[in-house]
Amino acid sequence: MIDFELTSKDQEIIRLAHEQAEIARRYGDYYDKHEDELPPDQFPEAEGRPNPIVLAEETGDGSSGPRILHSLVMHEIYGGGLALHRARWGLGNTVLQTVATPDQFEKWKNHTIAIAITEPGAGSDPADIRTTATFDRETGEWILNGEKIFISQAQSADAAMVFSRFIAPDGSRGMTTFLVEKGTAGFTVGPQLKKLGIRSHDTCNLLFEDCRIPEFNHIKGDFKSTMSVFNDSRPMVGAMALGVARAALDFTRQKLAERGIEIDYRGGMRSRCAIADRFLRLEAAYEAALLTVMRSKWLEQRDVAPKVEASIAKAAGGKAARRITQGCIELLGPEALSEDHRLERCFRDGRIFDIYEGAGEIQRLIIARAILDYTARELR
C-alpha cells in the first residue's frame, strides 16, 4: 500500500518551505525583469533560517521518505519562483557520485557541477550530439570541441559535466563524460539567456574550443549511466511545475472570492456556477499530476529505477502546469494578463517547465516505447 501521509516533522519542513517561498516571491518578480543579473548565493532573509531543501534531504525517518519530501519542498519553493538559498548540487554531481572513481569523487565532491548535454541541432536527443573529444597521445590530454545550450547553473556552478562523443587512443568511439572546471583554457560561459519564463534561473550556453582536459577529468559516464540521472530530476521538475500551477490556482481562488465567487466542495455540479466547476476541474488535474510525481519518488525510494514513471511524472506535471495556468487566465479574463499580477508570470513559467528537462513530447515517446515495446529507431 502506498501511504503519502506526512509526519509532523515533514509538515514543519514543508511549512518552512512555503514561508520562504512567500518571502522569495518579490525577488522572483525582480529577477523576472532583470534576468541579466544572477541571484546571490543567499538572500538577506535566509540569514539564520534553515534551508528546507537540506532539511528534506537529511530527513530519513519521516513517513513520506526523503525523496518524496524533497519533491514536496521544491513544489512549495517554486510556487514563489526561486529559493532563498542557492542550490549547491547539480545534475553533474549525480553523475560524479554514480560513476566517478573514489579519487575523482573526493576531489570534486564539494563542487557544484552543472550537466551539459543539449546542443544546437540536437535539442532533446542526446544521440545526435556533435561535441567531440579527441585524445592527444603526446600530452596525454583530451581535446574538447563543441557547444552546449540552455545549460542550468552554467554561471553559478564550479564545473560542468560535459557529455561528448570521443575517439579513444585505440581508435574506438562512443559517448562519455568529462568534468571541465571553470577557468580551463578554451572553456567559455556565455551570458544569461533571454527566456520566456523561469528568468531567475541561471541558464547560459557553453563553448569549448580546443579545450584541453587532463585524463584524470575523464569521468567515463556512458550513455545509460549519464541519462539515468534524469530518473531523479524529471519528477522533481514536474513537482516544480506543479508548484507554479498551485500558485496560479491560489491566486485565481483569491480573485474569484473578491468577485463573490466561492468554491464549494460539498455541492454537486448542479449547485455551483460554471466558473467554480471549471476551477475544480483544474484543481483535480493538479492533484492527479502531483500523485504521479509522488508515486515516481516512492518507487525511487524502494530502489526501483522509475524511468517510465519519471517520464510520466514530468510529462503530467508540465502539461498540467501549462493547462492550469492558461485555464486560470481564461477564468479571470484580461486582468490576468497584466504584469502587475502573479498569474502572468505563472503562465510563462509553466510553459517553460513543460519543455525543461526534456520536452513533454520526448517524455511521451519514452512512455510509448515502454508500452508498445518499440525501439528508438521505430519511433523516429
Answer yes or no: are the C-beta atoms of 331 and 275 closer than 8 Å. yes
Indicate if 57 belongs to the active site. no
215, 357, 361, 378: the catalytic one is 357
Measured distance CA(69)–CA(11) in Å, rounded: 9
> Which of 113, 24, 8 is CA-nearest to residue 69?
8
Burial bucket for residue 265 (CB in 10 Å: 0-12, 13-18, 19+): exposed
Residues with Cβ < 8 Å from 79, sequence gap 6 or more? 18, 21, 243, 244, 246, 247, 250
Catalytic residue IDs = 357
